[in-house]
Structure 1
Amino acid sequence: MLLNVSYTDKKIAKKIDAAVGKPFTLKQRLKMGGIGSPKLEIVKASIEIRNLLILDNNRDCCNIEMRPKGIIVGFRSLLESYALVIPYYKLSIYKGDFAVYSIFKDHYFIKVRSDTKAIQKFFKKILDYKADNAPTSIDDL
């Protein structure tokens, strides 16, 4: 789901927590070596996200936050902050040609440039965590 998270709203926070879980504790974050991505340059995006990004003339950048049951892809447009909330069971990540990672959820997608080792290492961390903690049956959801 694509949400405007610019303002504090308990309903939106509950939706996000229900979809991807509450944020990791400080102890868990330290044990994992961090849960946030470096700054990611957006190369291409689905039409809904592209329509938001073209509203301003800034560079199209995003970041990813890991959660226990999914990820949150955050980006800004004008003075608003948006979040693409993706549970692990709907997350698909592909590494394409020319050092580009594609992040898919249903009809939404974002393609980001992965020109540094830190970005590649972070995506490996996401995929490893997803493999270790993904539900094994429909009852686990």
Structure 2
Amino acid sequence: MLLNVSYTDKSITRKVDAEVGKPFTLKERWAMKGIGSPKLFISETSVEIRNLLILDNNTDSCNIELRPKGIIVRFRSLLETFALVIPYYKLSIYKGNLATYGVYKDHYFIRVQADTKAVQKFFKKMLDHKADNTPTSIEDL
């Protein structure tokens, strides 16, 4: 689900929390040694996201936030902030051949550059968290 999260809207917050869970508490964030990615530079996206990113001339970048049941990929275009909300059971991650990672959900995708150790370490943390928290049966959803 691709949403404009620039403004505080309780209905959007409820949708996001229902999809990927409420944010981690401060104690949980501390124990996990952070839940946010470093700045990720976008190399390629799906058509819907590309149409938003080409509206301005800034460098295309995003960040990823871990949540209990999924992730949120946030990026900016013009003066708006957009979020791609991905629950773990719909998340697919692929490692490209030229130091890139692809984050996929249904027909949306974002490919980011993984040229630093910090980015690679975050993706390993995300994959580990996904493995621990992905539902194993339909009853777990």
The two structures have a TM-score, normalised by structure 1, of: 0.99
Deviations 1:96-140 (A, max 9, x none): 111000000000000000000000000000000110111110000
Paired position in structure 1 for 2:76: 76
Paired position in structure 1 for 2:40: 40
Paired position in structure 1 for 2:53: 53
The two structures have a TM-score, normalised by structure 2, of: 0.99
Paired position in structure 1 for 2:113: 113
SS of 2:34's equivalent? coil
Alignment of 1:1-141 (within 5 A): 1-141=1-141
Q: What is the Cα deviation at residue 46 of structure 1?
A: 0.2
Deviations 1:5-58 (A, max 9, x none): 001100000000000000000000000010000000000000000000000000
Opposite residue 69 of structure 1, the aligned amino acid is K
SS of 1:85's equivalent? strand
- Provide the C-alpha distance between the structure 1 equivalents of 2:97 and 2:133, rounded to a whole number of angstroms: 28
Q: What is the Cα deviation at residue 64 of structure 1?
A: 0.2
- Provide the C-alpha distance between the structure 1 equivalents of 2:98 and 2:135, rounded to a whole number of angstroms: 32
SS of 2:98's equivalent? coil
- State percent identity of aligned pairs: 76
- Provide the C-alpha distance between the structure 1 equivalents of 2:7 and 2:129, rounded to a whole number of angstroms: 30
Opposite residue 115 of structure 2, the aligned amino acid is D
Q: What is the Cα deviation at residue 70 of structure 1?
A: 0.1
Q: What is the Cα deviation at residue 77 of structure 1?
A: 0.1
Deviations 1:55-84 (A, max 9, x none): 000000000000000000000000000000
Q: CA RMSD in A?
A: 0.3
